[in-house]
Amino acid sequence: MKKNIENNTPSLLLLIVLVGFPQISETIFSPTLPSIAEVFETSMSDAQLTMSVYFSAFAVGVFFFGRLSDKIGRRKAMLYGLFLYFIGNVLCLVANEMVFLLIGRFIQAFGASVGSVVTQTILRESYSGIERHKLFAQISAALAFTPALGPLIGGFTDYYFGFKVVFLVLVVMSMIVICYTSLCLPETALSTIEIKPLLPIVKRMITNARLWRYCLLIGGINGIIFSYYTEAPFIFTQYFTLTSAKYGLLGIIVALASIVGAMLSKRLVSYTKPEIIIVGGLVIMLLGTVLAMTVHFLPIFLQMSMMIMSVFLILFGTATALPNCLSLALIDFQDVIGSAGAMFSLGYYFLVSAIIYGMSIFHNGTVLAMPLYFLALGIAMLLISLPLTFKR
């Protein structure tokens, strides 16, 4: 049920925009990686560092803005973060060397992180129970369009105008989000927010075994999703020789998988434990990775079709599991939800960054690297999730 009924609650559309713009910022960038490697005369693995740096900065940002939102309120923290996001986009636009591009990406991600941590805090402090599960699933279903919009916009823009214009699109988008937020986002926190000491919260979190499991699951699932965005441009544009524009169209398949998975999750949560849904989603994801491993051994004319089918299953599985992980992760920390959310997000986004970095190391120019990497991650997450089905 809704908990803070006396507070103003943002519209669902605004919540979707605020939690979604960091994802668009990442997925719109994905098709430009081959172009960046070429223009900056660097290796594919070095170009993929722009993704790993993004999530390292994102991890630091979610901690910073989570704590800041407890101190100054959700609205002010959101606006400060959005301004930094705008600055980072401008720096990416004008960067003429790889090091300056990485600096711009760091600032961009640091600011964008406010959309994740503060929006999730607003959701967790305002809703509980099945209503919270359903709301997370509903937002996840809406956000499923970002895997279609991001690569589609980024792919076509890169193909016809060059990757620099992709950053111009992000600059314009950041200005729109700032204006929309400043006009429509109310303050949702209580008028007086108690800033509790961080050390006792950290001790509670470190000793909570279930929290560790959800941190590993959420970090692992997001790591797989964004490792796909890191590796897929090279698989489809170099191995399967698609143009960046045609690769962008594959985002429609990704979006469909995410929408169906999130909708299934929303429906199932009324009939079964969310922990069981998590396990089911991971099993589906593993099935997709096994199918992807067969691509290398198929006739040429079947390879791309099988890869697309495999990607659908992988992302369908992750979309089924992820909303339930996010909803359940911090149920033991409702009394310190802002700070706990900041610490929790710091942990799992560092894990996301590490997994993406691992994908860049594992990259070898073949179609086997990604499914083998995902298979190892998926098996580990399945083993982590199984005990959760027997405990609440």
Which whole number is the average pLDDT over 19-27?
85
CB 58 within 8 A of CB 331: no
Q: What is the pLDDT of residue 332?
A: 85
pTM: 0.78
- What one-letter code names the amino acid at 148? A
Residue 222, SS3? Answer: helix
* DSSP E strand boundaries for 292-352: none
Both tokens assigned to 272: 């079964």
Query: Nearest 5 degrees, angle CA 144-CA 145-CA 146?
Result: 90
pLDDT at position 3 over 60? no
152-181 pLDDT per residue, tens: 888 888 888 888 999 999 999 999 999 999
138-149 pLDDT per residue, tens: 776 667 677 667
Query: Nearest 5 degrees, angle CA 67-CA 325-CA 78?
Result: 30
Nearest of 311, 296, 298, 293 to residue 376 by alpha carbon: 293
List the domain boundaries for the chain: 12-187+197-390
62-77 pLDDT per residue, tens: 889 988 887 888 889 9
pLDDT at position 35 over 80? yes
Chain-centre distance for alpha carbon 286: 19
pLDDT at position 268 over 50? yes
Q: What is the pLDDT of residue 90?
A: 96
Lowest-pLDDT choice from 34-38, 272-276, 292-296: 34-38
Per-residue confidence band for 2, with pLDDT thresholds at 50, 70 and 90: very low
Burial degree of 302 (CB within 10 A; 0-12, 13-18, 19+): exposed
Which whole number is the average pLDDT over 337-350?
81
Of 29-38, 42-51, 138-147, the range with the highest mean pLDDT is: 29-38
Maximum C-alpha span of the chain: 65
pLDDT at position 4 over 50? no
Give the residue, 258 or 383, on which the prediction is more confident: 383
Which whole number is the average pLDDT over 17-35?
85
Per-residue confidence band for 8, with pLDDT thresholds at 50, 70 and 90: low
Q: What is the pLDDT of residue 46?
A: 78
Q: What percent of the chain has pLDDT over 70?
A: 89
Q: Rounded mean pLDDT of the chain?
A: 85
pLDDT at position 55 over 50? yes
Which whole number is the average pLDDT over 6-34?
80
pLDDT at position 127 over 80? no
pLDDT at position 150 over 70? yes
Q: What is the pLDDT of residue 147?
A: 63
Q: What percent of the chain has pLDDT over 90?
A: 36
Which whole number is the average pLDDT over 261-279?
87
Q: What is the pLDDT of residue 107?
A: 96
Give the residue, 151 or 211, on which the prediction is more confident: 211
Q: What is the pLDDT of residue 37?
A: 84
Nearest of 93, 120, 103 to residue 20 by alpha carbon: 120
Could you tell me which residues come within 8 angstroms of residue 246 by beta carbon, excluding any fewer than 6 positions away? 155, 236
Which whole number is the average pLDDT over 115-127?
78
Q: Alpha-carbon distance 62 to 80, whole Å?
A: 13
CATH code linked to domain 12-187+197-390: 1.20.1250.20
Helix or strand holding residue 268 (H, E): helix 251-268
Nearest of 200, 47, 19 to residue 124 by alpha carbon: 19
Q: What is the pLDDT of residue 244?
A: 80
Q: What is the pLDDT of residue 5?
A: 40
